């Protein structure tokens, strides 16, 4: 998502072409809307690229003849290395690492291998962009080149993510939520790192104390088709207090209906977009202390230990207990923090400055 936002923000000042390692996916329609050239390598998931894929990659790069190649995440960074090495004249290469790295064992086998290879060849790029300081430190401990580090956090579109009382009322009505019920939101794909079990166990503890509360989950596989999630909800007797929306593209609208946002991730986060998006919308957050989540929230939310349902429940209860005037002030403070530190215009300018410096050096 940050890559999409960056391409859109910079399209008036530079021309971009996107090379996607796999085929069309969930974000392809949004990529189409940017009106930039897109090429798909059509790699199969979990497969090591063969010579044909490398030839296609080089052909795509030759077609566009870039001054800068920006890798995006581990697999993209490695592919970008091949693109630089096999193309002449060699463009400037910049990597981008988007997650923290607590345990390599948490990664899939091929991803773990690529991470290790990345450490060995991290001298090749001119710079390595991390979206969190913790991520940079963790990767450098693994062997990534320390002299390549630059930290640029995620940026947020304050026009797209903003308080909207009309949308709030409309969506809550569609969901059948009475005015007295407080909504706690959670936006994440179904994956062990996202801590859904911890979150649902915390929800049970909250419901034991508060009846007028409902938990809304949205994200890939967070729907009634996911039997694992449904069975856990039923086992915790949360059927009347949980709404599963599945994967949605209208996240700015959904954020508006929440009274509180929760990030329950247990590892892997670098600089979570969803926390900044919630705060830009004026929604206070309870987050687990992974990546730079605590730094994003600052003094305007609660930060708790990961994989601790009781601590998460306590944080949620404290935030839901705030008085109306306290909540109103917190709404203002949350949005102001994102505007002052993480606006999309500020962050896109940092990328533009980096590109200009590396190509003129």
Domains and CATH numbers, the chain: 2-155+344-360 (3.40.50.2000), 165-341 (3.40.50.2000)
Q: Which has the closest alpha carbon to 238: 145, 154, 313?
A: 313
Element (H, E) at 173: helix 165-174
| pLDDT the model gives residue 104 | 80
Confirm if 168 and 135 have CB atoms less than 8 A apart. no
Give the whole-angstrom CA distance, residue 49 versus residue 34: 28
| pLDDT the model gives residue 221 | 96
Element (H, E) at 150: strand 149-151
| pLDDT the model gives residue 101 | 87
Q: Name the DSSP letter for residue 104.
A: G
What tokens does 31 get? Answer: 């990529």
DSSP E strands: which ranges in 103-253? 127-130, 149-151, 182-187, 213-218, 242-246
| pLDDT the model gives residue 52 | 84
Backbone dihedral angles phi then psi of residue 97, each to the nearest 5 degrees = -110, 125
| pLDDT the model gives residue 120 | 96
Regions in the chain scoring below 50 on pLDDT: none
3-class SS of residue 78: helix
| pLDDT the model gives residue 26 | 84
| pLDDT the model gives residue 54 | 85
| pLDDT the model gives residue 105 | 78
Tokens 């390549």 appear where? 148
| pLDDT the model gives residue 361 | 64
């Amino acid at each position: 998502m940050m890559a999409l936002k960056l391409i859109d923000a910079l399209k008036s000042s530079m021309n971009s072409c996107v090379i996607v390692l796999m085929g069309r996916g969930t974000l392809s329609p949004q990529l189409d809307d940017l009106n930039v050239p897109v090429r798909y390598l059509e790699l199969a998931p979990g497969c090591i690229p063969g010579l044909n894929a490398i030839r296609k990659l080089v052909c795509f790069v030759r077609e566009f003849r870039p001054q800068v190649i920006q890798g995006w995440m581990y697999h993209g960074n490695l592919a970008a290395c091949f693109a630089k090495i096999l193309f002449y004249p060699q463009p400037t290469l910049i990597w981008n690492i988007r997650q923290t790295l607590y345990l390599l064992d948490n990664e899939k086998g091929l991803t773990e291998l690529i991470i290790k290879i990345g450490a060995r060849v991290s001298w090749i790029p001119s710079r390595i962009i991390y979206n969190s300081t913790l991520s940079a430190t963790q990767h450098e401990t693994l062997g990534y080149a320390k002299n390549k580090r630059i930290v640029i956090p995620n940026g947020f579109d304050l026009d797209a993510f903003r308080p909207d009382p009309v949308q709030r009322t409309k969506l809550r009505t569609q969901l059948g939520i009475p005015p007295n019920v407080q909504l706690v939101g959670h936006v994440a794909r179904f994956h062990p790192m996202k801590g859904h079990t911890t979150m649902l166990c915390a929800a049970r503890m909250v419901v034991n104390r508060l009846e007028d509360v409902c938990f809304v989950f949205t994200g890939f596989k967070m729907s009634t088709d996911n039997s694992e999630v449904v069975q856990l909800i039923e086992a915790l007797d949360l059927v009347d207090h949980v709404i599963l929306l599945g994967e949605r593209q209208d996240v700015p609208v959904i954020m508006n209906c929440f009274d509180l946002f929760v990030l329950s991730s247990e590892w892997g986060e670098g600089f979570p977009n969803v926390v900044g998006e919630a705060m830009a919308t004026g929604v206070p957050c309870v987050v687990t202390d992974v990546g730079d989540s605590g730094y994003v929230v600052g003094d305007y939310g609660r930060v708790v230990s990961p994989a601790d349902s009781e601590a998460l429940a306590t944080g949620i209860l404290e935030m839901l207990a705030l008085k109306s005037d306290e909540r109103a002030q917190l709404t203002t403070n949350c949005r102001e923090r994102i505007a002052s530190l993480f606006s999309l215009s500020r962050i896109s300018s940092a990328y533009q400055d980096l590109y200009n410096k590396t190509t003129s050096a």
